[in-house]
Amino acid sequence: MLIVGLNGSPNKSGNTKVLINAVLDKVKELGAETVVYDVQELLNSAKHNFCVACSSPCSGICYKDSKLEEAFEVLKKADGVIFGSPSYFGTVSGQLKSFFDKTRKLRSEKALYNTVGAGVTVGASKYGGQETTIKALHDMMIVQGMMIVGDGYVEDDCGHHGVCAHKPADKDDFAIKRADILAKRMFEVCKKG
């Protein structure tokens, strides 16, 4: 089983990465293989950071032979993906939105169809747009045909949309607990798939 984490924050070791790592550490403990990517680094490796719709259907020429292309190849093999983003104005970071725009070719290939997906997010305050950011992540996953899981597990509770924290995430004990629960759910659904 392969679970991929995508850090949509421009900060490689910030609050969003804390939550992604909390989920990945638990699925690794349960037996999954994991890999995490920093989206900003992947975008920087492409010819353009943003999709300019240079071809339709997408040929992928703008990211050929880049770290972004390598990450897309790994994503195609993933059983599950944890998408993480800080809440910027109540939605995902520009980096994560740009990353999703670059997945046009993956979408035409149905490469993420039925892949299990989940979201984690962090805001500057307790009610800092985290749920609307999670909903934006869900919208992007739905467009890819992914199966979305929340942070519920039969031994705990039904959960909610995903893991929402307020910074500093490593001090948000409730969010860290929810990350553990989300990991168990993701592992369970990936295993059944």
Q: Cα angle vertex 177, ends 175, 178, to 5°?
A: 65
Q: Is the peptide bond before 86 cis (omega within 30 degrees of 0)?
A: no
What pLDDT, in 10s, does the model give residues 25-84?
999 999 999 999 999 999 999 888 888 787 788 878 788 988 999 999 999 999 999 999
Compute the distance between CA of residue 23 and CA of residue 6 in angstroms, rounded to an integer: 12
- Residue whose C-alpha is closest to residue 50's, from 119, 111, 104: 104
Instruction: Domain of residue 148: give its range.
Output: 2-192
- Please tell me the total count of domains within the chain: 1
Q: Residue with structure tokens 């659904």?
A: 189
What pLDDT, in 10s, does the model give residues 119-157?
999 999 888 999 999 999 999 999 999 999 999 999 999
Structure tokens at 27: 């699925």
Q: What is the pTM of this model?
A: 0.94
Q: Residue with structure tokens 């070791």?
A: 13
What CATH number is associated with residue 131? 3.40.50.360
